[in-house]
Structure 1
Amino acid sequence: MTEREIQTVVSGMSYTECPRWHDGRLWFVDFYTHAIYSVTQDGSEQRVEVEVPAQPSGLGWLPDGRLVFVSMKDSKVMRREPDGALVVHADVAAFVGGHPNDMVVDGQGRCWLGDFGFDLMGGADIETTGLLRIDPDGSVTQVATDLWFPNGSVVTPDGSTLIVDETFGNRISAFEIRPDGSLGERRDWARFGDLPTSRVVAQAVPEAVYGPDGCCLDAQGALWVADAVGGRVCRVAEGGEIRETITPGTGVFACMLGGSDGRTLFMSCAPDFDEHARSAAREADIRAVTVDVPHAGLP
């Protein structure tokens, strides 16, 4: 385990997620203060970018610079127009079995979106779900099925591969992105253990060798992956070899490489992911550490 100096960039939040480095600032969502924020690299200047009453999640930018983001509890992907107006980019309610969650926007402006698949916070049993492709015109197509809580996603620098964390599946999956926008067959990018033997969340979580959550890609093709059940962020090579582990001393649920040289790893940290506990407290933060290999790909 490599020891690196960890600093706190943002504090006093409820549950930060989906960090993105964009235009010289770290952007992120905070679930239960219902807003998208941005902050300077050192944390000295923070601002609210968008208020999202129905709870924000994944975000990205279209090729023309317009922000798109998930509004979880009304199952919409929203778009911010140049004049600041917020409009519905896509309504995905008919396509999801649980709250829409993290997404990545590729270089063609296509949004690749996952969802919970079931009522996680309500105590329902695990159900597998799919991936959606939202085209720039807002049309929605299901492009994959049978995924165990698809979560953090990246697109490789050449635009040819979509890599998706499956938080309850003990695995990271990869798909070829075909020229027509369809996906090839799912393959294991990394496998940490077997699929859970129980669909009861309280029984499945202890079976998780690694609960891959938010992630980002580096210039050597490795992923930094937050472990939602293990309180760590690991640098994982394709095939599953863990090459470095960082433990921030609390739960960690997403990460992103950014900063002026792309080597600052920002980590979304909180004691746990329980909606009731996190919405009632302000114990979440974003921590940062300098690593060796810079960012690559999207987001």
Structure 2
Amino acid sequence: MADRDVSKVAEGFTYTEGPRWYNGRLYFVDFYTYSVNVVNPDGSVEEVAHVEQQPSGLGWLPDGRMLIVSMKDRKVLRQEADGTLVEHADIAHLCTGHANDMVVAPNGQAYIGHFGFDLMGGADHEFASVILVDTDGKAQTVAEGLSFPNGMVITPDERTLIVNELFGNRVSAFDIKSDGTLGPRRDFAAYDDLGDEKSWHKRVERSTIIPDGLTLDAEGAVWVADCAHQRAVRIAEGGKILDEVSTAPYGVFAVGLGGDDGRTLFLCVAPDFDETARSAAREARVDAVRVDVPHAGTP
């Protein structure tokens, strides 16, 4: 694994997530300041939206309006041209935990995962689903039985959705049908089967990877934020680990490829993901490192 120079892009945040390169700028969220932020060309960071119920996944409709997951009230918000936020979809009836990460397809359909259980409250692990929100805001469940579906990408041909399963020790893939619904789950990269183990702590202990954020490159490999192991790993379909970037002593909770040539890997890092600890500190940041293979797909 090559040694690489890691640079700081933005610092002084609570818990950064959702890095997205869009129209030549990096966007990201900060959970406990409830902010959606953009990094300007001069390196300054500007808040572009405030989501009181905690922002997570980001994406854009074909007309350029931004969609934002509002985690705790389990909604998808839409930012209008004047900057105001309106409800795009209410998905609370389909979620069994906080709404979480999202990918918005080029046609405007959005795929959203959720926790499946009360992670911060200490509940037992329960399997969760992927929700499809159509362009008119109508929502439906399109995949079930996933262990905390998290980072998601869509391949360049728009035919495959790839989904991290945070506590599942695997990355899953689904064919995307013409109406946006999904075919059966299959393995993109899978390690030991964790079965129905109810303790998420034990699931973590038994896992090869703890895949949080996700981004796709032009050779069909994915970079995964392997959060509990303090590294970003590049994984080929089939599960072979091709490369890694250490973020020790911090964990890395989201990744995104971007930059003008698509070869900058952005890393959202923090000491841990404990809500009480992170909301009380300003230790999280966004880092960047150069990689060899450029970005592909969505986001």
Report the counterpart of residue 32 of structure 1 in structure 2: 32
Tell me, in whole angstroms, the C-alpha distance in 2 between the residues paired with 1:9 and 1:69.
Answer: 22
Other structure's SS at 2:120 match: coil
What are the Cα deviations for residues 112-141 of structure 1, in whole angstroms up to 9, with x where unaligned?
Answer: 000000000000000001110000000001
**TM-score, structure 2 as length reference:** 0.98
Tell me, in whole angstroms, the C-alpha distance in 2 between the residues paired with 1:165 and 1:19.
Answer: 16
Equivalent residue pairs, number? 298
- Contact in 1 for aligned 2:49/2:83 (Cα 8 Å): no
Tell me, in whole angstroms, the C-alpha distance in 2 between the residues paired with 1:225 and 1:202.
Answer: 20
- Contact in 2 for aligned 1:196/1:207 (Cα 8 Å): no
Aligned runs of 1:1-299 on 2, under 5 Å? 1-40=1-40, 44-195=43-194, 198-249=197-248, 250-299=250-299
* Paired letter, 2:12: G
Q: CA deviation at 1:239?
A: 0.4
* Paired letter, 1:90: A
What are the Cα deviations for residues 80-131 of structure 1, in whole angstroms up to 9, with x where unaligned?
Answer: 1112221100001100000000010001100000000000000000000111
Tell me, in whole angstroms, the C-alpha distance in 2 between the residues paired with 1:147 and 1:172.
Answer: 10
Q: Which runs of 5+ in 1 are unaligned?
A: none
RMSD: 1.0
What are the Cα deviations for residues 134-153 of structure 1, in whole angstroms up to 9, with x where unaligned?
Answer: 00000001101000000000
Q: CA deviation at 1:29?
A: 0.3
- Contact in 1 for aligned 2:9/2:287 (Cα 8 Å): yes
Q: CA deviation at 1:201?
A: 2.2
- Contact in 2 for aligned 1:168/1:196 (Cα 8 Å): no
* Paired letter, 2:146: L
Tell me, in whole angstroms, the C-alpha distance in 1 between the residues paired with 2:261 and 2:180.
Answer: 32
Tell me, in whole angstroms, the C-alpha distance in 1 between the residues paired with 2:139 and 2:54.
Answer: 21
Tell me, in whole angstroms, the C-alpha distance in 1 between the residues paired with 2:196 and 2:128.
Answer: 17
* Paired letter, 1:255: V
- Contact in 2 for aligned 1:167/1:228 (Cα 8 Å): no
Tell me, in whole angstroms, the C-alpha distance in 2 between the residues paired with 1:279 and 1:109.
Answer: 32
Q: Which runs of 5+ in 2 are unaligned?
A: none
Tell me, in whole angstroms, the C-alpha distance in 2 between the residues paired with 1:197 and 1:106.
Answer: 32
Q: CA deviation at 1:197?
A: 5.6
Tell me, in whole angstroms, the C-alpha distance in 1 between the residues paired with 2:201 and 2:258.
Answer: 35
Other structure's SS at 1:73 match: coil
* Paired letter, 2:84: A
- Contact in 1 for aligned 2:12/2:284 (Cα 8 Å): yes
* Paired letter, 2:121: G
Q: CA deviation at 1:181?
A: 1.7
Q: CA deviation at 1:195?
A: 1.6
Tell me, in whole angstroms, the C-alpha distance in 2 between the residues paired with 1:9 and 1:286.
Answer: 5
**TM-score, structure 1 as length reference:** 0.98
